[in-house]
């Protein structure tokens, strides 16, 4: 929790990349200044990343993909204001009973991103929220970028699989089986992406194997 809050009803949290301020129905996300970088370069990077994130939110929201509604952007400050999606992190509610249903919905959302040429790059169960009506939303596009490359989309899924395996090992296989089945149905380029995923996973296994002998 940050000190010197401007208003009593405002909650602020500082992360590695940005400060999030929550007030009423709005979230303010301001990218942190990186003091170890040259000021000119840092300003340019913050503006660029802020602009990309806002464009991604705009595109996804217009396409009906459940994400926070973008409201305003201030590139000079690296600031985005957006709708506050109130809900619980999927990380805290995912279990064996709901894993198949949740996996299907997550797959539909991820396929929606990939169909729009957007790679999230941080697909974890902390970046999905479930609201009181059981709707699932995807959040935090701070690392996201535009790409049509099968490799990038495959890495996206690989990162999700690693996150599930790490945080929810008891349902990992069940979740991913349902996810991949639904992703195949909803993603336009699923065949190519999943073929590339096999290569990505092989590289991962090879790296782990070489590390174990080092």
Query: What is the pairing mode between strands 88-89 and 118-119?
Result: unpaired
What is the H or E stretch that residue 137 is in? strand 136-138
For the domain bounded by 11-83, which CATH number is listed?
3.30.200.20
Domain 88-212, what fold? Transferase(Phosphotransferase); domain 1 (1.10.510)
Tell me the two tokens of residue 73: 């952007």
Tokens 């305003």 sit on residue: 72
| pLDDT per position as a tens digit, 22-69 | 988 999 999 988 888 888 998 999 999 999 999 999 999 999 999 999
| Whether the Cβ atoms of residue 39 and residue 47 lie closer than 8 Å to each other | no
> Is the separation of the CB atoms in 104 and 127 below 8 Å?
no
| pLDDT tens by residue, 176-193 | 999 999 999 999 999 999
For residue 204, the model assigns a pLDDT of 62
pLDDT tens-digit map of 86-137: 999 999 999 999 999 999 999 999 999 999 999 999 999 999 999 999 999 9
Q: Per-residue pLDDT averaged across 10-30, rounded?
A: 84
Dist. CA 179–CA 22, nearest whole Å: 32
Full-model pTM: 0.88
Domain boundaries, the chain: 11-83, 88-212
Catalytic (active-site) positions: 122
Mark residue 112 as left, alpha or beta (left: phi above 0; alpha: psi -120 to 50; beta: remaining). Answer: alpha
Sheet order of strands, 11-14 included? 11-14, 18-23, 26-31, 79-83, 70-74
The two beta strands, 118-119 and 145-146, are: antiparallel
Yes or no: say if 118 and 161 are a contact pair by the CB < 8 Å rule. Answer: no
């Amino acid at each position: 929790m940050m000190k010197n809050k401007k208003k009593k009803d405002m909650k602020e949290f500082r992360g590695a990349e940005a400060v999030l301020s929550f007030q009423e129905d709005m979230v303010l996300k301001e990218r942190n200044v990186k003091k170890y970088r040259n000021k000119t370069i840092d300003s340019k990077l913050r503006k660029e990343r802020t602009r990309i994130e806002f464009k991604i939110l705009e595109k996804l929201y217009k396409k009906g993909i459940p994400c926070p509604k973008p409201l305003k952007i201030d590139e000079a400050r690296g600031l985005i204001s957006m709708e506050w999606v109130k809900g619980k992190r999927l990380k805290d509610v995912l279990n064996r009973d709901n894993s198949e249903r949740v996996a299907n919905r997550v797959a539909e959302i991820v396929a929606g991103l990939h169909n729009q040429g957007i790679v999230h790059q941080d697909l974890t169960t902390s970046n999905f929220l479930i609201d009181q009506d059981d709707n699932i939303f995807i959040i935090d596009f701070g690392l996201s970028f535009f790409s049509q490359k099968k490799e990038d989309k495959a890495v996206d899924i690989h990162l999700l699989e690693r996150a599930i395996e790490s945080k929810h090992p008891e349902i990992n296989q069940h979740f991913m089986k349902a996810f991949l089945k639904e992703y195949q149905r909803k993603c336009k380029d699923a065949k190519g992406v999943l073929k590339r995923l096999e290569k990505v996973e092989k590289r991962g296994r090879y790296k782990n194997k070489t590390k174990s002998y080092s």
